[in-house]
Amino acid sequence: MAESPTPEAASRPLGRAIDLAASAAAVATLAGFLGRWHWLLDLTNHFRWYWLLGGAACLAVAAWQRSRLAIGAAAVAVVLNLWLLLPYWLPAERGGDGGVTLDLVSLNLLADTTDTATAVDYLRQRGADVVVLLEVTPAWAEALVELESLYPHRVVEARADKFGVALLSQWPLDEPRVITPADGPPAIVAVLRREAAGCRVIAAHPPAPISAAWSAWRDAQLDAFGRIVADSDGPTILAGDLNTTPWGHGFGRLLATSGLRDSALGRGLQPSWNAHRLVPRIPIDHVLVSPEIRVLDRRIGPAVGSDHLPVEARLVVP
């Protein structure tokens, strides 16, 4: 008669599995720190909160299994990712008196959608002061005509591909222009004017990092935006689908060069893509502001038919 396996023998396959899972979480975590050297390594940065959750789960099982290897590897994943994500959960400045309040919405519309009514109705009901729109096709430009009475000041650069962009505003727009930094997709730059307040807005949609060439193209455009902001005077807002999470190498360079800060700090991770499924769900739509702009609120809006969720920000412009 065959002997029954001991508890230790029965748990050995689980121990090996948790060793492997914890090691994978640690490797993925560490790979992101090498993102400047290869675009595939940089992609691992976008899933930091997944590595944190995976590492925490592995740590719990590893402690039960008493696997030193898994405990060490899982601890690396938990500690490093928690260190990077913690600023998004810690309390942040909520704003105060003085200045002009500005409501802004940034939304990637989804170029090939056939449902334009849902997003148009959302924008009409939301009634933000300023709206940044991405993936604006000729069909979308036609649909947005319905909002002309609400947004009389506008710049619309419609394209047949996924790189059309639009800036709709209830505030007057000074010096509006379409630019193509680093020979990339078009962006819109304009100065909003209301009362004594003036604020530069950049509406942007760099390429997605789907290859080494496109990743470098995206980072070159992010670098160009950083220089544009650094060379500008006065408060600035950079909003749009930047095709990077806050932990991407190019995003870090952008903040360092421009002096902008992420409006999501202290308000949670707020993942905006992919609206059609729970995994992956990562924050690649951003509203970045210069230090003199206070953030009163920042949140993710409802599903409007796009694969992106809108970003809603309530700001105070000095």
Percent of the chain with pLDDT over 70: 94
Query: Quick one: 161 and 229 in the same domain?
Result: yes
> What are 298's two structure tokens?
């920042």
Please tell me the predicted confidence (pLDDT) of residue 97. 63
d(Cα 264, Cα 236) in Å, to the nearest integer?
A: 16
Query: Quick one: 313 and 180 in the same domain?
Result: yes
Please check the confidence at residue 227 and state whether its pLDDT lies above 60.
yes
**Residue at which a domain ends, from 65, 88, 111:** 88
Query: Quick one: 25 and 117 in the same domain?
Result: no
Query: Quick one: 76 and 225 in the same domain?
Result: no
Domain with 134, as residue range(s), is: 100-317
Give pLDDT tens digits for 257-287. 999 999 999 999 999 999 988 888 999 999 9
Give pLDDT tens digits for 202-225. 999 999 999 999 999 999 999 999
Please tell me the predicted confidence (pLDDT) of residue 1. 45
Question: E-strand spans in the chain?
Answer: 100-108, 130-134, 153-157, 165-169, 173-179, 187-194, 197-204, 236-241, 261-262, 285-289, 294-300, 311-317
Please tell me the predicted confidence (pLDDT) of residue 236. 96
Number of domains in the chain: 2
User: Is residue 94 domain-resident?
Assistant: no
Query: Quick one: 121 and 228 in the same domain?
Result: yes
Phi-psi map region of 182: left, alpha, beta (phi>0 left; psi -120 to 50 alpha): left
User: Is residue 308 domain-resident?
Assistant: yes
Query: Quick one: 301 and 231 in the same domain?
Result: yes
Query: Quick one: 177 and 303 in the same domain?
Result: yes
**Residue at which a domain ends, from 64, 88, 112:** 88
Query: Quick one: 122 and 240 in the same domain?
Result: yes
Query: Quick one: 36 and 106 in the same domain?
Result: no
Average pLDDT over residues 36-44: 95
Query: Quick one: 304 and 192 in the same domain?
Result: yes
d(Cα 299, Cα 105) in Å, to the nearest integer?
A: 10
Query: Quick one: 161 and 70 in the same domain?
Result: no
Residue 254: which CATH number?
3.60.10.10
Query: Quick one: 116 and 30 in the same domain?
Result: no
Please tell me the predicted confidence (pLDDT) of residue 67. 86
Please check the confidence at residue 2 and state whether its pLDDT lies above 50.
no
User: Is residue 2 domain-resident?
Assistant: no
Please tell me the predicted confidence (pLDDT) of residue 7. 44
User: Is residue 1 domain-resident?
Assistant: no
Please check the confidence at residue 176 and state whether its pLDDT lies above 80.
yes
User: Is residue 146 domain-resident?
Assistant: yes
CA nearest to 253, candidates 232, 226, 233:
226
User: Is residue 123 domain-resident?
Assistant: yes
Lowest-confidence segment of 4-8, 16-20, 262-266 by average pLDDT: 4-8
Q: What is the mean pLDDT of the chain?
A: 92
Give pLDDT tens digits for 182-205. 999 999 999 999 876 689 999 999
**Residue at which a domain ends, from 47, 66, 88:** 88
